[in-house]
Structures are given as C-alpha cells and as structure tokens.
C-alpha cells in the first residue's frame, strides 16, 4: 500500500471489510489519538530519513496499523477519555517500526517480490540494503521505547520490548527449520511456538504495553498480554488460511507462499494427516521437491478440498474465543468492545 488512506481510494492488497472495521473504530474512538501516533511515528523516522526510499516511506504510510490501534485501545480501555501520556504514542510508533522490520526481513527470507501489491524493499533495493534498513527499524523501535522511560516501572517495559525483539528473531529462525517432525503433536507444538514468537508476541506487546503505560495494574497488563497472544494466534492462523484460499488480487501477494517455501502452516499440518502418502505437499515441506507453477496450483487445490482449511479455521475461532475470555474482566467500555470487535473481524473474514 503506497498512499495515505485519508486521501486515496481502495488499494491493492487491502480488504474493504478491514478498512470499514478499522476506520469505524478510528473515526469513532481514536481519531485524535491516531493523529498523535502518526506525529510520533514521523518524529521517530526523522533520524533515518537519509536512508529511506519511497518504498519504505510508503510502507509506513500504508497498512492497516492494527497493532498501534490495539495498543491505543488497550490504553484507552484503562484510562478512559482523558489525556494519554506522550509515551503511549511513542510506544505505538515503536511498535509499528518493529512490525515493519519483521515485514522487511520476511521478504528477504522469502525472496518475495511484492508486498501489499508493490515491490518489496528487498526487490527494490537488494537484500543487503533491505537487511540493514530492517535492522534500522528494530534498533530505532527499541530506542523509542527506551526514550519513553520515566519511571522505574517503565524499565520493565524496555525489558519486555527487548524480549519481544529476541522472540521475533527466534521465530524467524524457527520458520526456516525444514526437519519435519514425524509426530503430529510435535508438528503442532513447533507451529504454535513459532507463531507465538513471530506473530503473537507483537500483539501481546501491544496490549500489555498499552495497559502498562496507561497506569494499569500489573495483573491487568498481564491479562491484556494473554488477550493479545490469543488474538495473535487467531490472526496468524487466518493468515495461513488466506494464503491457501485468497486470490492475489485481494492479498497483494501470490497465493501459496507457505507451500512454495515448504513452510509448515496449520492447514498444511492438517493436510499431511488427511492425504495419502507419499504426496507432493509432504515432499515440498521436507524440501525434497519444491512446488511452483501447475504443480503448486494442484497442491493448493488438494489443500482446499481435503478439509484441512476447515480444521484450521476451527482452531482460529478457538483462539478468538480464548481472546474474548481474557477480555471479560476489563471495564465494559467502548474501547474494550472495540477490541472484541477486532477479534471477531479477524475470524469472520470471507474465505473466498
């Protein structure tokens, strides 16, 4: 996505339903807060300005901004409608920078040519420069959280951010592991450990840090972190499913990325249980016979027809249900309701 949503129409790779849900929340609850967030993001990017191309700048302008939105909602859920501390906006900006860093690194690893319907940073500038630009985002994000520290309690947040960055890197390394566990439970354990580190950890940080920076109690911030983790699991499982079923025109990237890279997504794990062996999907996951072209299309059709997508979808909904459970004890206000609405949106998207 390359242009500011406030001045342009629909873009490639953006689900209209996502725009309506998120824009409704922002317009009704977070309009002024998102302005402050974008100002904080602009200031955080200023030291990098000589090193950024239009591709990176467009990445920061575009996207759904769901992680900063969730951080702001979590903070508002505790603080209500009064003024928020400036460090919350700085934290939201740093969170978005962490997310963009993961996208840049993912595209390097995947050798992806497109991101949100546009050239990826690695395709545009080469993997070496892209790696350094991604590292810049990681470092500046951590600096941003550190600069927001003004109490002893805030130091715990800095440690949480460092742990999050560490987990993200471990998750990226875990995803490169190609040894296929023989046992189904071991496959599932590895899968959930990987997505918890690579995806759910940022949603956990968003909610836990939002509550923490808004002055919430430690037990509330931890519960918020559990909500974010469950939300992140549902989000990633749905992303796995959409990789199988969503056309490129809607996703902004080629379908079947996980399968073409031999990556162990949840639908693939379920397909391995359902299909006769040997099969092309298992060979691809083992790295024995990479799939592309007509062979990839045929394997995707098998994935869609064998019931693996439906089974993965049930687990996405279970994770969303768990997220709602963790949300229950919080104040019954519009901000908590909006977090619930986002949780429902994640698992209620049409699967094409």
* Higher-pLDDT residue of 289, 207: 207
Say what the pLDDT of residue 251 is: 58
- Per the prediction, the chain carries an average pLDDT of 89
- 17-32 pLDDT per residue, tens: 555 888 899 999 999 9
The answer as to whether 8 is a domain residue is no
Domain membership flag for residue 9: no
- pLDDT band at residue 14 using 50, 70 and 90 as cut-offs: very low
DSSP 130-198: HHHHHHHHHHHHHHHHHHT--SHHHHHHHHHHHHHHHHHHHHHHHHT-----SSHHHHHHHHHHHHIII
Mean pLDDT of 313-317: 97
Q: What is the pLDDT of residue 11?
A: 40
Domain harbouring 81, CATH code: 1.10.600.10
45 belongs to a structural domain: yes
Domain span at 282? 16-348
Strand partners, 115: 118
Q: What pTM value is reported for the model? A: 0.90
Domain for residue 1, yes or no? no
Number of domains in the chain: 1
Lowest-confidence segment of 57-61, 116-120, 124-128, 248-252 by average pLDDT: 248-252
pLDDT given for residue 326 in this prediction:
98
Report yes or no on 250 lying in a domain: yes
Closest CA to 97 of 140, 56, 50: 140
Residue 64 lies in a domain: yes
Q: What is the mean pLDDT of residues 335-350?
A: 94
Q: Residue 118 belongs to what H/E stretch?
A: strand 118-119
Within a domain: residue 112? yes
The CA-based dihedral angle spanning residues 156, 160, 161, 165, taken in that order and rounded to the nearest 10 degrees? 150
pLDDT digits (tens, 9 = 90+) for 249-267: 565 566 788 899 888 999 9
- What is the rounded distance in angstroms from the CA atom of residue 89 to the CA atom of residue 209? 11
Q: Give the model's confidence band at 350: pLDDT under 50 very low, under 70 low, under 90 confident, else very high.
A: confident
Q: 224-229: long-range contacts at Cβ-Cβ below 8 A with a sequence spacing of 24 or more? A: 224/74, 224/326, 224/330, 226/326, 227/323, 227/326, 227/327, 227/339, 228/70, 228/74, 228/200, 228/203, 228/204, 229/196, 229/200, 229/201, 229/203, 229/204
Q: Which of 45, 33, 16 is nearest to 213 (CA)?
A: 33
For residues 120-136, give the mean pLDDT: 95
Residues 274-283: tens digit of each pLDDT? 998 888 999 9
């Amino acid at each position: 996505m390359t242009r500011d949503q406030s001045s342009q129409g629909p873009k490639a790779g953006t689900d209209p339903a996502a725009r309506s849900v998120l824009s409704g929340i922002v317009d009704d609850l977070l309009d002024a807060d998102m302005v402050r967030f974008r100002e904080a993001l602009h200031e955080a990017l200023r030291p990098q300005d000589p090193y950024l191309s239009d591709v990176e700048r467009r990445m920061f302008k575009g996207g759904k901004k769901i992680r900063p939105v969730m951080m702001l909602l979590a903070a508002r859920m505790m603080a209500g409608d009064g003024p928020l501390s400036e460090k919350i906006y700085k934290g939201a900006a740093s969170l978005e920078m962490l997310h963009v860093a993961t996208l840049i690194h993912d595209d390097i690893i995947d050798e992806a040519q497109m991101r949100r319907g546009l050239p990826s940073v690695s395709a545009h500038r080469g993997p070496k420069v892209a790696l350094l630009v991604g590292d810049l985002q990681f470092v500046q994000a951590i600096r941003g959280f550190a600069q927001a520290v003004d109490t002893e309690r805030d130091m715990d947040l800095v440690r949480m951010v460092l742990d999050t960055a560490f987990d993200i890197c471990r998750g990226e390394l875990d995803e490169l592991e190609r040894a296929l566990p023989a046992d189904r439970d071991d496959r599932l354990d590895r899968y959930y450990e990987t997505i918890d580190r690579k995806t759910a950890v940022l949603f956990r940080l968003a909610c836990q840090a939002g509550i923490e920076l808004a002055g919430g109690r430690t037990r509330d911030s931890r519960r918020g972190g559990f909500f974010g983790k469950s939300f992140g699991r549902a989000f990633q499982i749905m992303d796995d499913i959409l990789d199988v079923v969503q056309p490129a025109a809607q996703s902004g990237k080629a379908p079947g990325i996980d399968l073409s890279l031999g990556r162990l997504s949840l639908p693939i794990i379920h397909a391995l249980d359902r299909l006769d062996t040997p099969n092309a999907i298992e060979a691809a996951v083992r790295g024995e016979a990479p799939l592309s072209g007509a062979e990839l299309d045929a394997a995707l059709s098998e994935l869609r027809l064998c019931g693996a997508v439906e089974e993965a979808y049930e687990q996405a909904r279970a994770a969303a249900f768990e997220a709602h459970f963790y949300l229950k004890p919080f104040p019954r206000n519009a901000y908590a309701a909006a977090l619930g609405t986002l949780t429902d949106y994640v698992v209620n998207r049409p699967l094409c």
